[in-house]
Structure 1
Amino acid sequence: MRITVLGGLGAWPSATQACSGFLVEHDDFRLLIDPGYATLQPLLSHVAAAQVDAVYVSHGHPDHCADLQPLLRARVLADRSGPPLPVYAPAGSLDRLLAIDEAGLVDDAYRLSAFTPGESFDAGPFRVDTWRLPHWVPNAGARLTGGTEVLAYTGDTGTSPDLVEMARDADLLVAEATYVDTIPERHEGNLSSAVEVGRYASTARARRVLLTHLWPGTDPAAAVDAARQVYAGPVDVAEPGLVLSV
């Protein structure tokens, strides 16, 4: 399994980095996870729009899904005879996004498979098990199994015992770490810190951690140091172009 980071910021993109987004490749299948703000351009530097085999969206906040819309345009306007793109997302989470274009323009560009967080399904060669994790809107954390390899992805989440189950013995845990240590009161229960990620990664015995969704302006080194206070394994920060093999 190969993971390419398209971006690693939360909330909004910067002049040099997109919001969180990941291209996951396994058995010649390309799964795009969370095409948030500004992820399309770095994606297209790696693969053509038509080469994306499926999309997984954790929740409907635009920093996790906004660039699905131009991706669909890039597919359907270039080749109207191309196959629809399978899109997996919590039920109702993409309704407003998919309705912003002119009526009917991208309807044939995708096939939406809506699910309720907690359900499991197959996406190409991946077995996808999902958990509803605490956030302001329904958010589906996912455990993707390809062969013997496991990638766990949190989306955005507050503290939950389900995080340990989801990340149990994962080869790679890609975890939201908006804050380094202290979470502002207005975000408590809905977002995480690097310290919290380190704690549940250690309990779950995840083999490696990739911190993502950092608040713009956060020092990546500080986030890594915070996670390493309580987690002994390798820790990286999602930065554009970073490639990890599981």
Structure 2
Amino acid sequence: MRLTVLGGCGAWPTARQACSGYLVERDGFRLLVDPGYATFPRLLDHGTPDGVDAVLVSHGHPDHCADLNPLLRARGLSERPPPALPLYAPHGALDAVLALDKPAMLAAAYTLHGFRPGDRLRIGPFAVETWLLPHFVPNAGLRLTAGGTVLAYTGDTGPSPDIARLADGADLFLSEATCLHRVPDPGDAPYLLTAHGAGQYATQAGAGRLLLTHLWPGTDEGAARKAGGETYDGPVAVATTGLVLDL
């Protein structure tokens, strides 16, 4: 299994970093997870629009799905459109982004498969378990397994005992880490995670390595790695545009 980071910035993209977006590959199958703001140009660094085999979205916030629109436009409006792209997302999560164009314009470009967090899916070579994790909107934590390799991804989440279950024994734990040690606004604290907290969950889960993502724009990456390493003694890295990991 190979993970290519298209972006890992929370909320909005910066000049150097796209928002959440990950290309997960196995046996020639290319699964795009969370095509957030500014991820489509980064996707083109690694292939053509018709090279994506399926899209999996954790939740409906635009920093996780907005660039689905240019991807569908590039496929649906091409001279020789490829087959309809399978889209997997919690029910209703993609309503806003799919409504950006008139329905008939891109109707043939995709096939939508809605699910409830907690459902199990099969997407190409990947067995996908989904977990309902706390966020401002329904969010699915994702556990992808293929060939005995496990990638666990939180989407965006606040603290929950289910995070350690999601990441149990995972080869790679890709965890949201909006803040370093605490969430400044108490009202947001139930719905966002810290790098320090992500390290705690990685330790509880016995994960092989920790990859921090969804850092608030401008966060120092070294400080995030240090905060995660305070509670986890395995390898800690930050998801930055262009990073490639073979699991």
Tell me the TM-score range normalised by the shorter chain: over 0.9
State how 1:1-246 maps to structure 2 within 5 Å: 1-184=1-184, 185-246=186-247
Instruction: Give the secondary-structure state (helix, strand or coil) at the position aligned to 1:197.
Output: helix
Measure the CA separation in 2 of the matches of 1:65 and 1:120: 21
Q: Can you give the 5+ residue segments of structure 1 that lack an aligned partner in the other structure?
A: none
Q: Distance in 2 between matches of 1:79 and 1:221?
A: 46
Q: 1: CA distance between counterparts of 2:181 and 2:14? A: 22
Q: Which amino acid aligns with 2:84?
A: P
Supply the distance in 1 between the matched residues of 2:85 and 2:79 (Cα, whole angstroms).
Answer: 13
Question: Amino acid of the residue matched to residue 32 of structure 2?
Answer: L
TM normalised by structure 2 equals: 0.98
SS of 2:191's partner is coil
Tell me how far 1:100 sits from its aligned partner. 1.1
Structure 2 Cα separation of the partners of residues 32 and 50 of structure 1: 12
2:131 aligns to what SS in structure 1?
strand
Determine the C-alpha separation between the residues in 1 that align with 2:89 and 2:23. Answer: 16
Question: Quick one: distance in 1 between partners of 2:168 and 2:103?
Answer: 44
Contact 2:75/2:81 (8 A) holds in 1: no
* SS of the residue 1:143 aligns to: strand
The RMSD of aligned alpha carbons is: 0.8
Q: 3-state SS of the aligned residue for 1:18?
A: coil
The residue type equivalent to 1:35 in the other structure is P
User: How far apart, in 2, do the equivalents of 1:101 and 1:15 lie?
Assistant: 27
What secondary structure, in the 3-state scheme, does the structure 1 residue paired with 2:55 have? strand
3-state DSSP of counterpart to 1:210: strand
SS at match of 1:105: helix
Residue 79 of structure 1 and its aligned partner are, at CA, apart by 4.0
The structural deviation recorded for 1:80 is 4.9
CA distance in 2 between counterparts of 1:94 and 1:7 reads: 19
**TM-score normalised per structure 1:** 0.98
Shift of 1:103: 3.2
Regions of 4+ moved over 3 Å: none
Q: What 5-or-longer segments of structure 2 have no aligned partner?
A: none
CA shift for structure 1 position 178: 0.4
> How many angstroms apart in 1 are the aligned matches of 2:116 and 2:239?
27
Question: Identity of paired residues, percent?
Answer: 59
Q: What's the CA shift string for 1:10-64, capped at 9, x where partnerless?
A: 0000112100110000011000000000000000110100000000000000000
Distance of 1:69 and 1:167 partners within structure 2: 30
Q: How many aligned positions are there? A: 246
